[in-house]
Amino acid sequence: MRVTSKGQVTIPIEVRKKAGLLPDTEVEFVVRGNTVIVKKVENNPRRGRRLLTIMRGKATTRIGTDEIMALTRGNRK
């Protein structure tokens, strides 16, 4: 793995999966001597807010709670 001129590296998919690094996951860097550790930021309250912002206004129809519950539970007849 090489660092680009912009300071970027590609984290292999296997490592991303094991670490739970999804797109837009915030990470932090810890330097210990000549070792750099990439850590997933835990309990980041901004992530949930960002997801809500992205999803807001995406629905194409307006339905009520009863209709949502019927859709999620399926027809029980």
pLDDT in tens, 41-77: 887 667 677 778 888 887 777 888 888 888 888 765 5
Question: What letter would DSSP give residue 11?
Answer: P
More confident residue, 45 or 1: 1
Whether residue 8 lies inside any domain: the answer is no
Residue 57: which domain range? 13-73
Query: Residue 17 class from Cβ within 10 Å (0-12 exposed, 13-18 middle, 19+ buried)?
Result: exposed
With respect to residue 1, please indicate whether it lies within any of the assigned structural domains: no
pLDDT band for 32, please (50, 70, 90 cuts).
very high
**Total domains present in the chain:** 1
Listed in sequence order, the residues at least 6 apart from 77 whose beta carbon sits closer than 8 Å to its beta carbon are none
